Chain A
Amino acid sequence: MSGAQLLELENVTRSVLLPDDSELQILTGIDLSVSEGDHIAIVGRSGTGKSTLLNILGLLDRPTSGTLAWRGTDAARLSSRRAAAARGRDLGFVFQQFNLLPGRTALENVMAPLMYSSGRDFWQRRRLASEALERVGLGSRLDSLPQTLSGGEQQRVAIARALVRRPRVVLADEPTGALDVATGLAVMQLLDEATVESGAALITITHDSNVAALARERFRLEGGRLHPLVQEVAR
């Protein structure tokens, strides 16, 4: 069922230098392949390196060793400019704390990624952002500021923002972490439906097994290593 390969991690490690000059190993020997249409969940307890892995997958961070290939190209060979272009064009992020831009309306928040696109998408940003908000059921809240929206609505704005440039991969970092169970499940269903509809890959990082259960592939991150939980779950 999978399409073209988008991301491939081979023996990726990530470590950081601590103030006392000792090295902290966060990720060790990670292998992962992500293709169009995949829905992957990575579960793990806090502090196991889930967000670090997501940052590497999202071209926000680089592995200490190993290879990260983005659409067949070694990400280490991508200039920061090309990596930024790839992030803007092909990757969408949904964060736990929503990370909406303060002081901007829902519409302005969704328009924000389109400010970094060129050509027609930039000049039609208002229409595209309105349509994206319509799709997540917030067509009546275009001019609402984040603080006037509920947690679920804020996350839906974040989802609309992540999808507005029609990315190939959506990376969701604890997308339901700040929501109650019912709202969290509704948000995840929305995210799942939207990515299935667009054919984008969805990688969700969560510590919620109910959220992880929605994915077709599941991994557990423990001790810096990635362990497959279920190879394929029939939908």
Chain B
Amino acid sequence: MNNLSRLGTGFVAALVEAWQELRIHRLRVLLSLIGVTIAVASLTTAVAGAAMAQQLMTEQLERYGRPAMISTYVSSPENLGPSQNSAQISAAFEKTAERFKINYTSVVGSSYGARATHQGLSVGTQIQVVDPEYGPMHRIFAQHGRWLEAEDAANLSPAVVVDKTTMTQLGLADTRLPATIELKNGADSVSVTVIGATSTKDFGMEGQLWMLPETYERWFSAGTPLNEVTYAMWVPVEGAEELASQFARQLQAELPGYYVDASRQDYLAWGQDEGLKQVALVVAGIAGIILLLGSLSLLNVAMVTMKQRIREVGIRRSFGATTGRVFFSVMMESVVATAVAGGLGVLISVAIVSNPKLINAVLATGLDEMPGFPVNAALLGLGVSVAVGALTGVLPALVAARVRIVDAIRV
């Protein structure tokens, strides 16, 4: 207990000494730490930026299906497409999904060439026919209003959700929802109710619009059958390929004579995250080089300073400072200083990365939602700064610890 108390007192005393030293030589310390601050800020910004970009890209990619997304396509024996017997196919799909205990499923049908109009403004729109589960399956949610619900099938006015492009082009950006617009698809022109709007704008100038299968069936399918219908399932990534294969066989058994294909259709299956990882590595490599240069500069200043402080070390040794204590104190000076510099660097990085205007200018994109600053990047920045302090503190600490007291006092 006595030894423990002595150790604790020694540690606190070394910290106090280190802080005193930094306070007294604050200008020198400040100048020597600029490099470390910039390097840590660069490294943290690079890692945080890459992580945030990765998150943004992931979110973008997940709009096409969150992993693992299995897409099932059923073609009729006459090769005329599935829509002719969609009720039979849908029933078989639902039965099979229940058997496999898959909770997230959705019909996905498309109809191109529709046009939405509102008070003289119009925009070309792609209609997506989907079940309510399609939203969470594709990370699509209503930024204004709400997403589709099963009960919307019973609405007397067809309920639709539109994307940002449609909202903007129809002059509805500042309008409170629900709002009524005209939707013309083929020969049918129907007044529909916009119950929600997403933040997405994936198709550039052309808009996108989502509605339930029952809604499309009731109002539009007679005139314009869906172009293509697939069935999507969101399942755990582990064993997804095997599940797709078994699901296809089972569905095939339910639909004799049809051709059934089920396969993964998410970005992980395509390997689209590899490029981003490489970019993150390159940026981290550049930040690492900056950090190395900053560390060398810090080491240089620390060595020169230690030569000037030899007498002080001798005086402290005459007070009873052991070699271990001198080593630890000098080391702590470096660690405390770089930890402070690193903390400052992380704060600068947070200020940069969390600034929406700056990020939008750099990424040339219009983000509606800023991802939070990654905690891992902040911890990495602090960890690296402490490690740099320890590494650059070792040499001066060794010089200080090895000094002969009588020589040091005479300096």
Residues of chain A whose beta carbon lies under 8 Å from any beta carbon of chain B: 52, 55, 58, 60-61, 80-81, 84-89, 93, 95, 99, 101-104, 108, 112-113, 115-119, 122-123
Annotate B390-411 by CB proximity to A: 1 below 8 A, 0 otherwise.
0000000000000001100100
Q: B319 and A87: CB pair below 8 A?
A: yes
Interface centre among B24, B315, B325 (most CB of A within 10 A): B315
- B325: chain A residues within 8 A (beta carbon): 84, 116
With A104-B20, A115-B16 known as contacts, the answer to whether A60 contacts B405 (CB < 8 A) is yes
Q: A85 and B320: CB pair below 8 A?
A: yes
With A80-B322, A81-B322, A115-B13 known as contacts, the answer to whether A95 contacts B5 (CB < 8 A) is no
Alpha-carbon distance between A122 and B16 when the two chains are bound, in angstroms: 11
Majority secondary structure, A binding face: helix
Q: B20 and A116: CB pair below 8 A?
A: no
Annotate B300-320 by CB proximity to A: 1 below 8 A, 0 otherwise.
000000000001100111111
How far, in Å, is A190 (CB) from chain B's closest CB? 20
Nearest residue in A to B324 (C-beta to C-beta)?
A: A81
Q: A104 and B13: CB pair below 8 A?
A: no
Annotate B309-340 by CB proximity to A: 1 below 8 A, 0 otherwise.
00110011111111111000000000000000
B10 close to A (CB within 8 Å)? yes
With A99-B409, A104-B24 known as contacts, the answer to whether A84 contacts B315 (CB < 8 A) is no
- A85: chain B residues within 8 A (beta carbon): 320, 322
- A103: chain B residues within 8 A (beta carbon): 24-25
- A99: chain B residues within 8 A (beta carbon): 311, 315, 409
With A119-B5, A119-B9, A122-B9 known as contacts, the answer to whether A112 contacts B319 (CB < 8 A) is yes
Alpha-carbon distance between A159 and B318 when the two chains are bound, in angstroms: 14
Nearest residue in B to A173 (C-beta to C-beta)?
A: B409
Alpha-carbon distance between A118 and B311 when the two chains are bound, in angstroms: 24
Alpha-carbon distance between A197 and B334 when the two chains are bound, in angstroms: 42
Residues of chain B whose beta carbon lies under 8 Å from any beta carbon of chain A: 5-6, 9-10, 12-13, 16-17, 20, 24-25, 311-312, 315-325, 405-406, 409
Nearest residue in A to B25 (C-beta to C-beta)?
A: A103
How far, in Å, is B6 (CB) from chain A's closest CB? 4
With A60-B405, A61-B406, A103-B25 known as contacts, the answer to whether A118 contacts B5 (CB < 8 A) is yes
Alpha-carbon distance between A95 and B316 when the two chains are bound, in angstroms: 13
- B323: chain A residues within 8 A (beta carbon): 80, 84
Majority secondary structure, B binding face: helix
A-B contact pairs, 16 of them (CB 8 A): A58-B318, A60-B318, A60-B405, A60-B409, A80-B322, A84-B321, A84-B323, A84-B325, A86-B320, A99-B315, A99-B409, A113-B320, A115-B17, A116-B325, A118-B10, A119-B9
- A116: chain B residues within 8 A (beta carbon): 13, 316, 319-321, 325
Q: B320 and A101: CB pair below 8 A?
A: no
**Out of A87, A122, A123, which one reaches B318, CB within 8 Å?**
A87
Top 6 closest A-B pairs, CB basis? A88-B320, A103-B24, A113-B319, A116-B320, A84-B322, A118-B6
Nearest residue in B to A109 (C-beta to C-beta)?
A: B315
Interface centre among B16, B24, B25, B405 (most CB of A within 10 A): B405
Interface centre among A52, A84, A122 (most CB of B within 10 A): A84
Q: A95 and B320: CB pair below 8 A?
A: no
- A102: chain B residues within 8 A (beta carbon): 24, 312
- B9: chain A residues within 8 A (beta carbon): 118-119, 122-123
- B315: chain A residues within 8 A (beta carbon): 99, 101
Q: A87 and B406: CB pair below 8 A?
A: no
Nearest residue in B to A116 (C-beta to C-beta)?
A: B320
Nearest residue in A to B325 (C-beta to C-beta)?
A: A116
Q: A101 and B312: CB pair below 8 A?
A: yes
Alpha-carbon distance between A115 and B319 when the two chains are bound, in angstroms: 9
Alpha-carbon distance between A117 and B405 when the two chains are bound, in angstroms: 19
Nearest residue in A to B323 (C-beta to C-beta)?
A: A80
Alpha-carbon distance between A113 and B318 when the two chains are bound, in angstroms: 9
Given A116-B321, A118-B6, A118-B9, 5 further pairs, Cβ under 8 A: A80-B323, A84-B321, A99-B315, A112-B319, A116-B13
How far, in Å, is B59 (CB) from chain A's closest CB? 54
Alpha-carbon distance between A60 and B316 when the two chains are bound, in angstroms: 12
Alpha-carbon distance between A117 and B5 when the two chains are bound, in angstroms: 11
